[in-house]
A and B are shown apart, each in its own frame.
Chain A
Amino acid sequence: MSLLLASVGFGLITAAVLAIAAVGFTLQFAVTDVLNLAFAAVMTAGAFTAYLVNQAGYSVWVGLAAAMVACAALSAGLNYLVYAPFQRRGSAPITLVIVSLGMALIVEFGIASVAGGIDVSYQMSQGRTVTIGGMLLSTVQLIIIAISVVVMAAVHALLRYTKLGKAMRATAANRMLARGCGIRASQVIALTWALTGALGGLAGTVFAIDVGSFNASSTDIFLILILAAVFLGGPGNAYGAMLGALVIGLATEVSAAYIEPDYKYVVAFVALLAMLAVRPTGLLGARA
């Protein structure tokens, strides 16, 4: 099996996980206008929720559902208790970014103080290994890719065909105007926090499944990949985030096959800085 194909396989899985997180992050930003750096910490909370459920003797897939519910609540709670009050007061976007960093610390190290610094893993079987087009993938990895594809389709359907999705897009485009048109923006925003929180929980759990063992700080670097994917596609643009995730996922893993694996993140980093410098609105974005 060629090195290239193998790394493409890894890239697809990374991209699948990344796409879920990046779409969640970018929708959150578009609708709520908070560049929420606590997103990765919410993912960690999801991964540990699934771990607790798994430890209680249930399948990790039950844990995944629990993680989505828990993170929807956590995310909506963060908005209700912290972000929304700051926004109501008219705080600058940069203040909210700093606050979100504070939230990231509280959630991440709150988990660490309970869980300790040790790595944990789920009790689960990786399933049969299958070869597809020269790529060697486990059943679990295929399930992750399938979940990601389903989520992308669901997000597309949500934005395109549902009332909530249209209200989200309207709120993202112009919150005041949306209010004027009879959209209850605060409700749409609260729902968006819950929904994107659920995506964060889902992403956190499949991330943990994918990496095998994890601790409270495992998603720190993953946040960088999320940011790279989001900014590559254009902040606030869901389809851009999908494209960005695919590019970043493949680029990091394929490059890892040829250069030192430790430097694979540099690709994401260069992509992110280049986009910020040359085209801050991203590949698909028009709106700054």
Chain B
Amino acid sequence: MYYLIILLVYAAVDAIACLGLSQQFGVAGVTNFGFIIFQAAGAYVAAVLALPPDTADGGFQTYIGGLSLPFPLPWIGAAVAGGVLALPFTFLVGRRLRGDFAAVGLLVTAVLLNLLVMNYRPLFNGDAGLALVPTPLRQTMFVTTSNAYQYGYAAAGLVLAAAVYVFVRRITESPYGRTLRAMRDNDKVADSLGKNLVALRTGALVTGGAIAGLSGAVLVSFIGVWSPAEWSYAETIVLFTAVIIGGAGNHAGAVLGAVLVPVGFEEVTRFISNNNPNLPPNLLPSLQWVAIGLLITVFLWLRPQGLLPERRRMIRAPARSPAAQAPPEPPAEPAVESAPAPAARAPVPAPVTEPILRTSGVSKAFGGVHAVAGVTIAVGRGTLTGLIGPNGAGKSTLLSLLAGTAKASAGQVIYQGQDVTAVPAYRRARAGLVRTFQLASEFKRLTVLENLLSAVPSHRGDTFAGAVAGRRYWRGAEDLAIGRATELIERFGLARHANDYAGDLSGGQRRLVEIMRALMTEPSMLLLDEPMAGVHPELARRIGAALVGLCQDGMTILMVEHELSIMDEFCEPVIVMADGAVLAEGTMAELRDRTEVVEAYLVG
């Protein structure tokens, strides 16, 4: 009977830990190979907050603290410690570092902290660890039999696990959670949409760390000892296996994984060793690790989404937008019927005002190659400016410099009269300067509608606090955003696919998603990188007409495009680049008269 209780407590501890890991790895895409140290730290803090000063009991063990705090303070302290411990690692998961490099950094940290603690006796009592950790409320509760108390403990653990489940779900299912998932799918794009990757990843590390710390507290208060050998980095792999098998990104899957892997494995091993007492002592634990290695690999191969895959979030448009419920889309005439024929387009007033964006001598060198060499351009307000040039002319690089997704090696970028050369991409995006990418950049495991919603600027629910505050707090803003997104999706003729995964769409449809998503940020200026590449000519013309319409409404667009007929039809003026420099600028008609342009590009 007692064994069942132990099992339940372990299940609760592992479930809590797996939920924290699932939040980090499955939702936010932060691979924390050092996860176990957060659990260990939480357990240690819970222990020393509950323990009396270390001079008690004859001072047979040394530790920091010893505050004899009453329950629940040690557990709260554990969660705080787990969260605070995450802060020093923020730099590892920032904007610049590849995810697998960061994972290696965290792994190494876990191994070395374990090594340090095992060997440094004065600080953490070395590999002896801690013993006689008080059990919460043991003295104050009027529980006569040991069994009743144990049952109560197990029940409390399970309730706590349930509470953590509700908490992480609340975050994941909020607009903030959607942003985390967007970052997981493509961090560079999330950055360009105005998401602060450092803050988001720090949030994920801290939340997961706090949850891990809490799980450590539940464990240490139950078993009464804290032994550093129990927190080796390999334990992290067990938890990863659990989350991957259960289904990364699905919190119910994390709980299932916790029951199957850490708990299930202990059970199976115990069963085998009980029935085969003559096995070599080292054999079973070794084979257990081999099995973990096999499980992780086989699952990643056969069922990478896990037993309980992440659910697709179906969003129904708010009631007041009846059109959304009528899926059959008009096959033709989608984009903007109001867009006039380009010839009849009202002449754009000469930009007498300050241009919305200009550069002076902006440059970018990769090694010895000057991809962009001293480019000075000005983009007038309300224009649909084209940017053409042969392959390797530096068009995309220039776009990156303008958007801030690449750093200029020299020169200045002035946006709305302000020098933004040193401003990171997400802050330029928030200021209304938004780019799209040449390669497909949709958030694959978000639906079309979610892709659009993820771009909504300063959404109430798109902060950690907003997410915690709950649905009621952000529902209004969300409904408004859904209304806007639905409208856009209808305008671009994708209503039928609103709730499909963006990753499942055709190439042309994905370009549309990307443009719509950029529009959701309500930009003042759009930087489009070959939005019509690989798009059916008919659809391309529709997109072009839509863009002209947007410019008439006051937006400015700078568009890289290879298709000259598109340039002819929609763009004015057009800037020609070659070899990293601006070769010419003017209307297409003017450019055709200039021999150097024709030689560089317009041949044929």
Contact = CB atoms under 8 A, between A and B. Distances in A.
B496 to A, nearest CB: 27
Given A105-B293, A221-B115, A260-B119, A272 B108 contact: yes
Nearest to A280: B97
7 contacts: A97-B104, A98-B240, A106-B290, A106-B294, A113-B282, A277-B92, A286-B367
A269 B286 contact: no
A214 to B, nearest CB: 15
B96 interface: yes
Contact of B297 (A99, A228, A280): A99
A204 B115 CA distance: 22
Interface in A107-124: 108-110, 112-113, 116-117
B31 A97 contact: yes
A82 to B, nearest CB: 7
A102 B297 CA distance: 6
A120 B234 CA distance: 23
A224 B105 CA distance: 10
B501 to A, nearest CB: 16
Contacts, number: 131
B290 A105 contact: yes
A269 B297 contact: no
B64 to A, nearest CB: 19
Contacts of B355: none
A95 interface: yes
Closest 8 CB pairs of A and B: A105-B293, A113-B286, A109-B289, A106-B293, A262-B119, A102-B296, A102-B293, A112-B286
Interface in B505-526: none
B100 interface: yes
Interface in A230-251: 231, 235
Contacts of B384: none
B116 interface: yes
Contacts of A95: 300, 304
B112 A266 contact: yes
Contacts of B293: 101-106, 109
Interface string A80-102: 00100110000111111111011
Contact of B116 (A86, A103, A266, A276): A266
B280 interface: yes
A113 B100 contact: no
A35 B297 contact: no
| A interface, over-half SS | helix
Contact of B101 (A37, A116, A235, A266): A235
A258 interface: no
B312 to A, nearest CB: 20
B104 A35 contact: yes
A288 interface: yes
B99 A101 contact: no
Contacts of B99: 92-94
A113 B283 contact: yes
Interface string B292-309: 111111001100100000
A248 to B, nearest CB: 12
A61 interface: no
B370 to A, nearest CB: 15
B237 interface: yes
A269 B367 contact: no
Interface centre among B101, B102, B296 (most CB of A within 10 A): B101
Interface in A4-60: 35, 37
B287 A265 contact: no
A202 interface: no
Contact of B290 (A37, A113, A277): A113
A109 B286 contact: yes
A85 B116 CA distance: 38
A37 B240 CA distance: 15
